[in-house]
Amino acid sequence: MIFKKNSSKKKISTLGFGSWGLGSDSYGHINKNESLKILNFATKKGINFIDTSNVYGKGLAEERIGEFLSKNFLLRPKLFIATKCGMLNNSSLSFSEKHNFNINNIERSIKKSLIRLRINYIDLIQLHSPPIKILKNKKKINQILKLFTKLKKIGVVKNFGVSVKSPQDALIIIKKYKQFNFIQLNFSLVDQRALEYGVLDAAYKNKVSIIARTPLAFGYLTGKVRVKKNDHRKKWSIKQANIWTKGRLKFSRAINRKKLSPTSLALLFATYHPAIKTVIPGMMKIKQVKDNLKFLKTKKLEKKEIKKLFHIYKGNKWRI
């Protein structure tokens, strides 16, 4: 397993574990035993960064991670557990989101996360998709940071971060709020806004660690998507899904390396920039973990290849 230097003291794996699917309500059903098996396999393979949220499966993802941690308590010092607060339970089939970033709600949310995760500290607490009006409300953010600082002093949280709605939002955080040392954002072959708007360079310059999410574009960059009953991808149109699927072929043909799978290409790209410390594809099967691990043993992308991939991105429309 490859580890990158980051703004925290604990090492984190370049390949992280995105646990949205463990909530069993957004990527199809997964039972408890399957969840525990995949967490066990992933951590044995060196994946130590686990990203979750209080709203994944209305807390079910945290509960399952908590049960895994309780059965493998000796692993806890080696693992980097990141969760989120501020978002309320929403329908996975809706584009609308509900939030509550009031101090009392955030503090209550963190306490409940600790209980579900069965741990006494969180390595990284992240504000979950705060609207732009919240990010621009300096008084509100400073109140939240004051709470986070208090919790850090008593050892409940170790690092502060923001999981942003849009990569552009990250620039506000980098410029205005130095206490946040992690930012989670979308970054993939079909969503290169973080590169396009200079977010990655700004983060690297200011020593902010980037967590890259949706690196496989909800699975469409792997070519292996089967939308299930409980699956948030139902809200995307067939036309949108086809755009991402065809994009996979465009990017693969452009690089044209022998034995380079679309999955490895996507993950190589999503981790190429030095500001990116970990990438968190969702994984609900052991085979998916194995497929994702392969990129770590693959030759890194060259500068000319990255430029080619950016050129394809700029020359096409990826969202409708």
* 315/320 Cα distance (integer angstroms): 15
Per the structure block, which two tokens stand in for 137? 């409300």
What is the tally of structural domains in the chain?
1
Structural domain contains residue 128: yes
pLDDT at 95 over 90: no
Q: Say what the pTM is.
A: 0.95
pLDDT at residue number 128: 97
Arithmetic mean of pLDDT, 230-250: 90
Contact criterion met (CB below 8 Å) for 305 and 268: no
115-131 residue pLDDT tens = 999 999 999 999 999 99
* 31/22 Cα distance (integer angstroms): 8
Structural domain contains residue 320: no
Query: For position 116, which CATH number holds?
Result: 3.20.20.100
Burial of residue 271, with CB atoms counted within 10 A of its CB: 0-12 exposed, 13-18 middle, 19 or more buried: buried
Structural domain contains residue 319: no
257-285 residue pLDDT tens = 888 999 999 999 999 999 999 999 999 99
In which domain, by residue range, is 175 found?
3-314
Name the residue type at position 80.
F
Structural domain contains residue 298: yes
Arithmetic mean of pLDDT, 126-144: 97
pLDDT at residue number 155: 96
